[in-house]
A and B are shown apart, each in its own frame.
Chain A
């Protein structure tokens, strides 16, 4: 029965009209994804009217083409220009951009593309397997589990700021404080909004990311001069197209780990690809034998982030289709498109519209793999961007970044936020403080605070709720392990060295 649905979904997609729409969606997704700030949600939202005239399979093919291709486009600008197209790619740039500065942009994009494809394949294939169990998985995560998942993310990231632990904690604290700005969803109170209506919804992540990374880097570059490639004499090394792929295959445990983290985290509504990418990156740097090389251009960092991003994109389908609860902003728009075409996501859809469900999974799989292939093909011309002189590059990137920031929700407030965070980012670069931990604090702050209060409301103030379920106990154990294992490993190494 399920095989029949798989096949029907596949057959519905392998049709000239559907494949054309998929290809158009991909081309559009790659282009828009590469523009700073315009993530998947905005990209699909702009395309909603185009789907009016399509049948449900056509709309699915087009939308999945966009969703599957956006991460690849977004990663390209993250690696080349330190400017994430969408929020999750901020994890890619931590090592991707240093690689570009070393003249290894080709290698980084190649690895990103191949891990993106493999992660996407694993993510979407896991959906095929997991979809019948979707309901159980989604119901496992309640506010106490959300809280512990958020805490695990914070702990892992704090630890990954190796050698700069205190500085990492300072900027993570800053991120948590920024996350407090806006209306408190639990009490309805307005906090630190300075009388500005823009700040009711808090500081938007994407404009802040654009400031912290793109604007700050452009300020830095324009002061230093030269080009993205740090050594003026260095030539951009564009290895054979297969070099990145080989790196990805060589680090298969990282790909598998990233895909697994992406799949699990992506299936939890409200957490999203950003957390998955950062969690995968941080854990990979934790278990690495050369943790000190992360952040300085370790290809494993790119692979860890990318495999998690696309895997989470696939598993976002689990709560979205299984429950009608969108896993993130992008899925919210996709859900709207499905509803406009008469498909009501939820358990009934799992039974009544299996062909469409598996059509979505296949379309997303095709789009992930094909977009990555296009990324690989384009490595050589794209990598040349890193040799463009600063005087040409900076004005173009700043313009694109600020337009992207504005376009998130057509607000001039976003542009101001990008400017403020740009200056903050530059100060942090100069003072050698990590910027990553601010982002993590901002992303996780809201989830942690809200689910903590909800858990205590549920339990009438008893902390026992945080260890009341097997998942909660597992997450609590992982937090303890994350805190205990690295110092223990260090102690063992020291003892062995002595």
Chain B
């Protein structure tokens, strides 16, 4: 059937323009969500971030009533960039690790700004700690200082949180030390200390705990100002309160410019998903410590970390 010329001239362009405008303005917040939501995970399957995300997803699906599609990316700037550049329509959210994502930005060559993400909440908060092999003769920071030679730390390379934490500890604790870098993941640099590649390792407690409970490493210092590990000195006891400023936070974010109504819907759903008894039960089974936080707390974490690393940019070890 041939369309009249007027229809061709007016109605069709109008339909196209309406379509474009709908696309630009996104879906109506009241209807949200109406289709599956992509959940970006900034790590390969099986890692800590992947486990955090997958613990959350079933309850998040229940809270939002739509399918959540996890999408794993290799570590690096690709995942945060994908999240940053996605349309702010609530259909792309993701895990953002802090300060890892910030450190990548401070290293340069990234296309995102951590201050501009829309923060939806916090899933986990992990404290850093210093450990040595269980059979090491070093039993305290004082013994480490008295070694008479540089202490060697195993770690990931410059630009990683573990490297920055190690640099910070070396300075604030006054250690004569060197860092053996190049280990691709936390289990590998912890294993490096167990087999004697180096004397000590600094990483988050979640990664260290299995090795502590199996008596392969022992903790000498916890980088918190409370009582994260009973019986282990904290940052304040080591006269290095700055160490407590390094932590690993697993945040959930969305692209900049997410409409407030959708942001609230998502924040509430994430909070509900973390509180969900099934999530809590699975987290307990997986020995994952969930430390829920709201959107404001997530934003505060980012602001504090940004301020700290801007002031101490040399810790990053930028080549």
Contacts from A to B (Cβ < 8 Å): 41, 44-45, 48-49, 52, 138-139, 141-143, 183-190, 193, 195, 197-198, 200-201, 269-270, 323-326, 329, 332-337, 339-342, 344-348, 409-411, 450-451, 453-454, 457-458
Interface pair A325/B45, CB less than 8 Å apart: no
B164 nearest CB across to chain A (Å): 11
CA distance A201 to B194 in the complex (A): 27
Residue of B at shortest CB range from A349?
B214
Instruction: Name which of A41, A200, A450 has the most chain B CB atoms within 10 A of its CB.
Output: A200
Interface pair A201/B74, CB less than 8 Å apart: yes
Interface pair A188/B210, CB less than 8 Å apart: no
Residue of B at shortest CB range from A42?
B45
Q: Is B310's CB within 8 Å of the partner chain A?
A: no
Residue of B at shortest CB range from A320?
B187
Inter-chain contacts of A186 with B (CB < 8 A): 157, 181-182
- 15 of the cross-chain contacts (CB-CB < 8 Å) are A41-B45, A45-B45, A141-B195, A185-B156, A186-B182, A187-B158, A188-B160, A188-B319, A325-B187, A329-B46, A336-B54, A337-B46, A346-B213, A347-B215, A348-B214
Stretch at the interface among B22-30, B228-236, B279-287: B279-287
Interface pair A340/B282, CB less than 8 Å apart: yes
Interface pair B45/A411, CB less than 8 Å apart: no
CA distance A497 to B243 in the complex (A): 74
Given known contacts A41-B45, A184-B157, is B181 in contact with A457 (CB within 8 Å)? yes
CA distance A332 to B157 in the complex (A): 21
Residue of B at shortest CB range from A334?
B46
A383 nearest CB across to chain B (Å): 34
Convert B137-180 into 0s and 1s, putting 1 for each residue whose CB lies closer than 8 angstroms to a CB of A: 00000000000000010001111100100000000000000101
Question: B186-201: which have CB < 8 Å to A?
Answer: 187-188, 191-192, 194-198
Stretch at the interface among B76-84, B91-99, B114-122, B258-266: B76-84
Given known contacts A142-B196, A348-B213, is B187 in contact with A326 (CB within 8 Å)? yes
Inter-chain contacts of A450 with B (CB < 8 A): 182
Q: Is B51's CB within 8 Å of the partner chain A?
A: yes
Choose one: B159, B214, B285; the contact of A346 (CB below 8 Å). B214
CA distance A457 to B180 in the complex (A): 6
Question: B90-115: which have CB < 8 Å to A?
Answer: 107, 109-111
Contacts from B to A (Cβ < 8 Å): 44-47, 50-51, 54-55, 57-58, 71-78, 81, 107, 109-111, 152, 156-160, 163, 178, 180-184, 187-188, 191-192, 194-198, 210-211, 213-216, 282, 285-288, 317-319
Interface pair B181/A458, CB less than 8 Å apart: no
Inter-chain contacts of B54 with A (CB < 8 A): 48-49, 336, 340
Given known contacts A188-B317, A454-B180, is B157 in contact with A143 (CB within 8 Å)? no
Inter-chain contacts of A193 with B (CB < 8 A): 109
A169 nearest CB across to chain B (Å): 26
CA distance A461 to B72 in the complex (A): 39
Choose one: A334, A335, A346, A411; the contact of B78 (CB below 8 Å). A411
- Going nearest first, the 7 A-B pairs with the smallest beta carbon separation are A188-B158, A336-B46, A45-B45, A332-B46, A333-B46, A342-B285, A186-B182
Interface pair B286/A342, CB less than 8 Å apart: yes
Known: A185-B184, A335-B46, A411-B73. 10 other contacts (CB 8 A): A48-B54, A185-B182, A188-B317, A190-B109, A201-B74, A201-B75, A329-B44, A339-B286, A348-B213, A410-B73
B182 nearest CB across to chain A (Å): 4
B186 nearest CB across to chain A (Å): 10
Given known contacts A185-B181, A187-B319, A195-B109, is B211 in contact with A346 (CB within 8 Å)? yes
Identify whether the interface residues of B are mostly helix, strand, loop, or mixed.
loop
Choose one: B45, B46, B76, B178; the contact of A457 (CB below 8 Å). B178
Inter-chain contacts of A410 with B (CB < 8 A): 71-73
CA distance A346 to B215 in the complex (A): 10
B95 nearest CB across to chain A (Å): 14
B250 nearest CB across to chain A (Å): 15
Residue of A at shortest CB range from B195?
A139
Inter-chain contacts of A346 with B (CB < 8 A): 210-211, 213-214, 216
Interface pair B198/A458, CB less than 8 Å apart: yes
Interface pair B58/A52, CB less than 8 Å apart: yes
Inter-chain contacts of B183 with A (CB < 8 A): 185, 454
Inter-chain contacts of A339 with B (CB < 8 A): 51, 286-288
Inter-chain contacts of B72 with A (CB < 8 A): 45, 409-410
Residue of B at shortest CB range from A452?
B182
Choose one: B55, B78, B195, B319; the contact of A142 (CB below 8 Å). B195
Inter-chain contacts of B180 with A (CB < 8 A): 454, 457-458
CA distance A269 to B190 in the complex (A): 13
Interface pair A41/B44, CB less than 8 Å apart: yes
Choose one: B44, B51, B163; the contact of A340 (CB below 8 Å). B51
CA distance A138 to B81 in the complex (A): 37
A269 nearest CB across to chain B (Å): 7
CA distance A185 to B160 in the complex (A): 10
CA distance A198 to B81 in the complex (A): 11
Inter-chain contacts of A185 with B (CB < 8 A): 156-157, 181-184
Interface pair A453/B182, CB less than 8 Å apart: yes
Residue of A at shortest CB range from B184?
A185
Interface pair A197/B45, CB less than 8 Å apart: no
Inter-chain contacts of A334 with B (CB < 8 A): 46
Inter-chain contacts of B214 with A (CB < 8 A): 346-348
Interface pair A200/B78, CB less than 8 Å apart: yes
Interface pair B187/A341, CB less than 8 Å apart: no
CA distance A338 to B111 in the complex (A): 36
Interface pair A269/B188, CB less than 8 Å apart: yes
Inter-chain contacts of B71 with A (CB < 8 A): 410
Interface pair A197/B182, CB less than 8 Å apart: no
Given known contacts A185-B156, A197-B81, A335-B46, is B287 in contact with A344 (CB within 8 Å)? yes
Inter-chain contacts of A336 with B (CB < 8 A): 45-47, 50-51, 54
Inter-chain contacts of B213 with A (CB < 8 A): 344, 346, 348
Residue of A at shortest CB range from B57?
A49
CA distance A358 to B194 in the complex (A): 25
Interface pair A458/B77, CB less than 8 Å apart: no
CA distance A44 to B45 in the complex (A): 9
Interface pair B318/A269, CB less than 8 Å apart: no
